[in-house]
Structure formats: C-alpha cells, structure tokens
Chains A and B, each alone.
Chain A
C-alpha cells in the first residue's frame, strides 16, 4: 500500500467504515510505516480534541416547552397555516422526506415506451440521490466482486482504476431490462460514473452506441460476453478514456480474482 492510497483511506479507516480486509491492509501498513502511523495518531488526537472541546449540546428547556406547545397547537388545528418560508419550503421538506424514505416517484417514468435508455437514465439519476449509490462501499475490487456472489447469476468483471484517475467507489444491485444487473460505481473528480454490466444476449450489436439525455451521457457496448452501459455527466472524451480502460482491464491488466 502506498502513502497516497493510505491517506485516501485513513479517514475511512478511522471512522470504521472500511471493509474488513481493507482495514487489515491499512493496519498492517500503519504498523510498518512511521510517518503514516504519526498521521494516524494525529487523526485520533484531533477526534479526541473535537469530542472533548466541542461537546454535543442540550436543547434548552424553554425551547423544549416551546416546541411541545407548538406541536399541541398544530395537532389541535386541522388547518395547516402557511409557513413563513412559503410553499417552496413545504415542497422542499416534503420532497426531502420522500427521498429519505424511498418514496421518490421518478421510477414512474420507467414505462415500457422509455425502453432501456430511459431505465438506465432513471437508475443513474436515482443512484445519485442520497443513500442510493452503493450497496457495497469499497474501493477494493476483491471486496466488490465477491459481494455479487449469490446476488447475481453471473460474476461481473470488477477493476479498480484508481491509479488511472477513476477510483472504484463500490457496487450495488440494479434492475434493467427485466433482469438483475451489476452496477459498479466509479468516481472521476466530483463526477459519478455508473457502469451497468450483465451477460450479453446471443446476438450482440457491434460497436458503441451513445446518446445524451438531460445532460447525462450514456454509452453501450458489448465485449467478452458482457453488455456494458456507462452513465455519467462526465464529458464524452474522458468517458471514452474510461471505456478504453475497461476494455484494457480485461486483456492488458489481467483478469480479476
């Protein structure tokens, strides 16, 4: 593990959110590398200082009473008075609540007339909503790939291209064209790339089909028995680079475990 990789993973490690095998790798590196161990110690110290010096606060008693009174009032009155911030606020709060509880109805547009493109787009947009991006959060291809075992009837090729500027963020299950598919999530600066993978049908289309919808670029191609679909707001030229990496990943870089 390099220092660069470690620095990227250190906060995730300190927060206990790394996959166990990744955490083991970080721990092993910390045991053998003094500068990194000092960096780690500094993070622990900072956390201690924050928790000691910036405590959680208690809601003041008058506030507690005010809230309870206001709630009683609201419960008694069937009419809902317009809030100070106007209807926009209410709409925003309502949509927030809907997002938090999975009741977002973008999926309603996934009608049959929309076809696969519409489904991919909807899936990409939905994945960008809070909490929907990944089921397994790991930059380690050896964590992400086995995660799909037992969840899919195929084992998708998974590569981490962090060294080429496209780090693997994680994966999740998705459902496209009437079948479960693997969705691999990659990052490029602030952009998110969704890569959907599933076994190709008997007569795959040659070449790459691409389209742009609502500012998102979609690429679709077939290689080595799999159909791939990319979706991202990243620019076309970098997406093309990424597509080439994926193609090389299968032949030049070597097969994943």
Chain B
C-alpha cells in the first residue's frame, strides 16, 4: 500500500468519519468504545480499500458504515462475554439545549432524555435503522447494504422502531405528547 493509496483513502473515506462516529456512538452508547470502533474500522477499511477503484460518495459511505457497524457488533459480542457493557451513558446527556427560558430548557431536556432513553432501550438492530435513516438520511437500499438485511426487513424494523419511539414519548409524558 503506497502513499497514493493513502491519499485516495483519505479523500474518499475520511470525509465520512463523522457519520462513522455517529453510528458507532449510538450503537455502542459509549464515547470511548465508539472511538475504538471507528479507529479499528478505518484500518480495516484501508486494508480492503485497494480493490475499490472508482468508488466514491454515498457508495463509499455505505461501505465504510457497513464496516463500522460490523466492528461495533464485534465489540459488543466481546464485551457481552466479558460482561463489561455499560448500559447507559451519561456523557451523551451533557449537551443540553442552550435555551434562555428555564421552562423551555426543561421541556427540551425532557424531550431529549425521553427520546434518547427510548432509543437506547431499542435493540441495536432497531437503533441502527433509526440512526441511518433519520440522522444520516440513507435510502432503504443503502441501509440494506449497510446492515446486510433485505429492504423488506429494513422497512419493518423502521416501522416498529418508530412506533416504539412514539409510544415511549407519549408514555413518559415528554414534551412531544
């Protein structure tokens, strides 16, 4: 692997580092794990990059995200056997909305917490379709490529995840009822 290959990788794949980190963060629910996942995935992607001439843009992002997802699931499997998994991550909650009115800020915070709690309670297979669709705006086909499940399954998982998120918000009396 020479330096031109590295340059190509940096130009094609590294622009998607934020997307990769977002997916890893929501899948692992932990900042440090997410960073480890992204670094591992980047190296793996680099090793397999040589054959992919002419791949760019959204296709490159989907390919990279598939590897990130795989790395996150591998880590989860390792942690499960070690029973080291941290279920909730308080750090994610620290970025509260900078609202002037205390009441509005409180509402915003409770909506945010309700949603995040509901999302974190979803299984990873539901969490990932929400992140890929709503946060990263991938098409069904792209989500299918990333997650390795048929489009029909992507559709039904999205539908079920949204029903649960909506129900959780209503059930917890969040600001969105």
Interface positions of A (Cβ within 8 A of B):
10-12, 15, 17, 42-43, 45-47, 49-51, 53-60, 62-64, 66-68, 70-72, 74-75, 78, 80, 83-85, 89-90, 92-94, 96-97, 99-101, 103, 128-131, 133-134, 137, 169-170, 187, 190, 192
Q: Nearest Cβ in chain B — how far from A77, in angstroms?
A: 9
Q: Mark B4-47, 1 if CB is under 8 A from A, else 0.
A: 01100110001001111110011000010001001110111011
Is A50 touching B74 in the complex (CB atoms < 8 A)? no
Is B3 touching A67 in the complex (CB atoms < 8 A)? no
Is B42 touching A137 in the complex (CB atoms < 8 A)? no
Interface positions of B (Cβ within 8 A of A):
1-3, 5-6, 9-10, 14, 17-22, 25-26, 31, 35, 38-40, 42-44, 46-48, 51-52, 55, 62-63, 66-67, 70, 74, 78, 108, 111-112, 115-116, 119, 130, 133-136, 139-141, 144-153, 155, 158-159, 162, 165-166, 169, 176
Q: Would you call the interface of chain B mostly helix, strand, loop, or mixed? A: helix
Is B165 touching A46 in the complex (CB atoms < 8 A)? yes
> Residues of A contacting B48 with CB < 8 Å?
93-94, 97
Q: Which listed residue, A11, A62, A134, touches B158 by the CB 8 Å rule? A: A11
- Known: A15-B133, A67-B42. Contact between A75 and B1, CB under 8 A? yes
> Residues of B contacting A137 with CB < 8 Å?
140, 151
Is A93 touching B46 in the complex (CB atoms < 8 A)? no
Apart from A60-B35, A129-B148, 18 more pairs, CB < 8 Å: A15-B133, A46-B176, A51-B135, A53-B111, A54-B26, A56-B22, A58-B21, A59-B18, A63-B17, A64-B17, A66-B35, A70-B42, A70-B43, A75-B46, A89-B74, A97-B48, A100-B62, A169-B151
Q: Which listed residue, A74, A85, A134, touches B47 by the CB 8 Å rule? A: A74
Complex CA gap A40/B8 in Å reads: 44
> Residues of B contacting A53 with CB < 8 Å?
108, 111-112, 115-116
Closest CB pairs A-B (n = 7): A59-B21, A75-B6, A53-B112, A59-B17, A57-B22, A11-B159, A97-B48
